[in-house]
Structures are given as structure tokens and as C-alpha cells.
Structure 1
Amino acid sequence: MNNNVIDYIVTCMATNSLVPNIQRIQTEHRMKLAEFWGIKEGSKVLEIGCGQGDTTAVLAYLVGEKGFVQGIDIATPEYGSPITIGDSIDFLKKSELGHRIKVDFEIDIQSTEVNYSEGYFDYVILSHSSWYLNSSEELLAILRKLKKWGKTLCFAEWDIRIQSDQQLPHFLSVLIQAQYECFKQNSNSNVRTLFTPMDLLEISQEAGWNIVDETSIYSSNLQDGEWEVKQTLTDYQNELNNIDHMPIKLHTLIKSEILLLKDSLKKGPIKPMPTFSFIAE
């Protein structure tokens, strides 16, 4: 991985001025994903759930001057921290990569108003965005729609098949969140539906995609595991208090899992889970 390239991409990101080390680590991870996907120069790319543009910036660099990245996110521009996704994308669009990018917020990809020509995009991307979806049915519908527009599907999501004890806190925190999310009608949480790698492959194939390659990519310095653990330990009691129709046995089970999560923190520094990624056509 070329350090000069990473440095260049990072300077295009708004969070570089606030948390330069974090942004560099996040960008290095996205570059690993894009290199596995084999994004080619001159390509047209559609990214679903682009958020603050961590993957968008890498894609924009790789497609080059003759390429184009269309980002879509259902969130409002005011969503996100420490910088909102709107401010982050505005910063990216004002950078040297900006003319290669177009991002639309508050867009539901399932809306009949969203449409592109058949096979218009060389790649359609979902990068760490599937857990924000409300159900497997929603993911299936999205992937079926993308099949009409894109030639190649590139997918990345956390791989809950953990490989070490230090990844256990990250796994437990997302598992706990996923359980109480089942009782919500509306949510803005990071984990709304927890898909396993096996789920993702099965749903993609049901949507008509043919899996051509898959891998597990481990970026040990990513901070996401620490963030999810902190979020879970901060929020779980309020979450449980606000759900009055949860079965008492599940309520008790989640509290037991919280104790297990706290105990798992004794095993050393928190490490992120690996990332499962695949390519389909």
C-alpha cells in the first residue's frame, strides 16, 4: 500500500484536521477493500450508504480523472459525528477529488423515483453499510434493484466469526445491540440488523448475484470495536428501560451478556473483528 497515496486521500477528508490518525487508519482499511475489489481506472461506481465518505474518497481516487462515483445515503446531512455527513461530503467535494463525486442524501434506494439505465455502473458498492438496514427483506430488495444497474457487486461488512479473544468485546457489543434493536420500530443505531457472512452470501445469491470471490480482511488498528463497546455500555440500560414489551428472559439474558462483555475487557486491548468482503457478478 502506497503511503503517499494514503496521505493524499486523507488530506481530502474533513476529519483529518480533528483526528488525523483515526482517519488514516480508516482510509488504509478502505484501500484494502478497494484493492480486493479491483476497482479500475475510468469506472462508474455507485456506492450505497456512503456516510461520511471514507470509502467514497478511496473510490474517487482509484477511478481517476475519467471515472465517477455516485454516492447515496438515506440519512440527512445533519447526521453523524464528530462531523456531520453533510459537512464531511462538502469538504470532500471541495478537494481535488471532488469533481469525480456526486452524493445525494435523504434518498431511499428502494424508491421508484431512483432509477438508472441497465448496466450503467461498472461497480455497485456496499461498504460497512448493511447493518444499518432494517431487515434482510430490505437488503434483498436493494440487491435485486442493484442487479439491474451494476455489473459487479462489491460488498464489505464486519465478520462476526471472531479469530481472537480480543475481538470478543466487539462481537458481544454488536450482538447485544442487535437483540434490543429487534423491538424498535424506528432507529438511528449503528447496528439495526446483524448479518453474518453466510446471510450476506445467501441473500445476494437470492437477489440474482453470482459470487466470484470472497475473503476476510483484518485491519487490527481500526477503532470501531472500541467505539461499539463504549456505545453499548453507555446505552444498554436506557435501551432496556425503554422497551416495555421485551420478554423478561431476554431482558435477563442481555444483562448476562453485559456482564460477559465487561469480563471480556480483562483480556487485553479491544481489537476489531475482521471484515468479510466478496465480489459478485
Structure 2
Amino acid sequence: MNKDAIEYIINCMAASEANSEIQRIQTEHRLKLAEFWGISEGSKVLEIGCGQGDTTAVLAYLVGEKGLIHGIDIASPDYGAPITLEDSIHYLKESALGNQIKVQFETNILSPEVDFPKGYFDFVVLSHSSWYLHSFEELHDILMQLKKWGKTLCFAEWDTRIQTDEQVPHFLSVLIQAQYECFKNTSLSNVRTLFTPMDVKKIAEDAGWNVLKETTIYSPALQDGEWEIQHVLTDYSEELNAVSDMPSKFQNLLLSEIKLLDDAMRNSVIKPMSTFAFIAK
């Protein structure tokens, strides 16, 4: 791993001012993904679900000044904490990486108003963003759309195939959130649909993509597992109270899962799940 590259990238990011070590760990993980995908200098890249720009910054570094990163996110610019999406991306665009970055917020990739020339992008990227989608059908439709615009699909998401006991609490936290979502019509949650690696590969193939190469990347220092657990333990009462038609037996099941999660947080070592990634044409 190129430490100079990591330092260069995080110096361009707003989050590094608050906690450079967290940003360093997050950036190192995304650099592993981008190197696996083979993102090359001068490439045009469409990134779906760019968020605060963690992956965007890495992609911008790799494509260089002659490349382009076009980020699209359906979220509002004021979404996110402690730094909003708008503030984070503004900081990134004002940095040394800013010339090759364009970002659109509040934009639905499936909207008729969104269009690009056929095969315009060398790569289309969905990195740790698929669980924000509302359904299997939505992911399928997005991948169908991206097939028109991009030559290579680069995908990454948490790998639900647990490899160690230390990863179980992270998985349990996202499973609880995914179960809430079955009773919602709208949501701003981190996990709205849980896709397994097998689900995503099947959906991608049904959308016309041919998966050429896949891998599992483990970045044990990532903080996301603990963040998701803390989120669930803080918000579960509000989540349960917001749902009116959940059967009491199912609610009791969720409460039992939450007790297990609380016990794990108090008494177990917590590690993040691995990341499943693939390249498709």
C-alpha cells in the first residue's frame, strides 16, 4: 500500500481535519478496492452513491487530472454528520483533486432527466452504497441503466458470509436494520435492503453484466462495525415505535436480537465484516 498516496488523498478531505486516523483507515480500504478494480489514469468514472466522497477522493487520485469522476447521490446535500455531504464534497472540490470531480446531489439515477452517451464511462462504481437502495428491483434497474453508459462495472459491499466470530455483531446490527425496513414505506436508514454476494451477482447477471473477477477484502481496522452497532442500540426504540403494523412476536424477536447485540458490544471483540468486490463487463 502506497502510504504517500494515502496521505495525499486524506489531506484533500474535510473529515481528516476532525480525525485523520479514522480517515486514513477508511481511505486505505477504498484504495484496496480501487486497485482491485484496476481504475487507471485518464479514465472516466461514474460513481453511484458517492456520499461524502470517501471513494470519490481515491478514484480522483487514480484517474489524475486527465480523468473524470462524476458522482451521483440521491441524498440531500444537508444529509450526513458531523460533516454534511455538501460541505465534504465542497472541501474535496476545492482541493488538489477537485478539477477532475463533478457531483450531483438529489439525483435519481433512474430519472429520465439523467442521461449520458452510450459507453461514455470507462468504469461505473457502486461502493458500499447498495444497501441504501429500497429493493432488489431497484438495484436491477440501476444496473440495467449503467449497462448503457459504462464499459466496466466495479462493485463493493459488506460480505455477509461471516468468516470469524468477531464479525457476527456487525452482521447482526445490519440484519436488525434490514428487518425494520420490511415494515417501512420510506426510510433514511443506513441499511434499507440487505444484499448477499450471491444476490448481487445474480442481479448483475440478470441485468446483462458478466462477472469476470471477484474477491473478498478484509480491513480489520475499519470502524464501521462498531458504528452500526452503536447506531442500532441508540435508535432501536424509536425505530420500533415508528412501525405500527409489526406483529408482536416479530417485535419480540428483534428485541431478543438487540439484547444479544448489546451483550456483544459489552463483552466481545468487534471486527467489521469483510468486503465483497467484483468486476463485470
TM bin, normalised by shorter chain, reads over 0.9
TM-score between the two structures when normalised by the length of structure 2: 0.98
| TM-superposed deviation, 1:262 | 2.2
User: Matches of residues 179-218 of structure 1 in structure 2 within 5 Å?
Assistant: 179-218=179-218
Distance 2:262 2:14 in 1: 34
* Paired amino acid for 2:48: I
Distance 2:169 2:268 in 1: 10
Distance 2:69 2:265 in 1: 40
| TM-superposed deviation, 1:266 | 5.0
| TM-superposed deviation, 1:267 | 5.1
Q: Secondary structure at 2:123's aligned position in 1?
A: strand
Residues 171 and 273, structure 1, Cα contact 8 Å, conserved in 2: yes
Residues 165 and 267, structure 1, Cα contact 8 Å, conserved in 2: no
- The superposition leaves residues 124-179 of structure 1 with CA deviations (integer Å, 9 ceiling, x where unpaired) of 00000000001010000000000000000000000011111111110000000100
Match in the other structure for 1:161: 161
Q: Secondary structure at 2:125's aligned position in 1?
A: strand
* Paired amino acid for 2:40: K
User: Matches of residues 40-51 of structure 1 in structure 2 within 5 Å?
Assistant: 40-51=40-51
Structure 2 residue ranges without an equivalent (≥5)? none
- The superposition leaves residues 102-123 of structure 1 with CA deviations (integer Å, 9 ceiling, x where unpaired) of 0011100000110001100000
Match in the other structure for 2:130: 130
| TM-superposed deviation, 1:255 | 1.0
Moved more, 10-19 or 234-243: 234-243
Match in the other structure for 2:93: 93
Distance 1:90 1:128 in 2: 21
* Paired amino acid for 2:177: Q
Moved more, 82-91 or 262-271: 262-271
Match in the other structure for 2:245: 245
Number of equivalent positions: 281
Match in the other structure for 1:57: 57
| TM-superposed deviation, 1:248 | 1.5
* 2:160 is aligned with 1:170: no
Percentage identity across aligned positions?
67
| TM-superposed deviation, 1:240 | 1.0
| TM-superposed deviation, 1:208 | 0.3
- The superposition leaves residues 23-55 of structure 1 with CA deviations (integer Å, 9 ceiling, x where unpaired) of 000000000000000001110000000000000
Q: CA RMSD in A?
A: 0.8
Match in the other structure for 2:21: 21
Residues 219 and 274, structure 2, Cα contact 8 Å, conserved in 1: yes
Residues 166 and 267, structure 1, Cα contact 8 Å, conserved in 2: no
Residues 229 and 265, structure 2, Cα contact 8 Å, conserved in 1: no
* Paired amino acid for 2:263: D
- The superposition leaves residues 222-246 of structure 1 with CA deviations (integer Å, 9 ceiling, x where unpaired) of 0000000000001112211221100
| TM-superposed deviation, 1:263 | 2.8
Distance 1:242 1:99 in 2: 44
* Paired amino acid for 2:154: C
Match in the other structure for 1:116: 116
| TM-superposed deviation, 1:264 | 2.6
Distance 1:119 1:222 in 2: 34
Distance 1:267 1:150 in 2: 46
Structure 1 residue ranges without an equivalent (≥5)? none
* 2:238 is aligned with 1:233: no
* Paired amino acid for 2:226: E
Residues 49 and 129, structure 2, Cα contact 8 Å, conserved in 1: yes
Residues 162 and 168, structure 1, Cα contact 8 Å, conserved in 2: yes
Distance 1:268 1:3 in 2: 31
Greater than 2 Å deviation, 4+ residue runs? 262-269
* Paired amino acid for 1:255: L
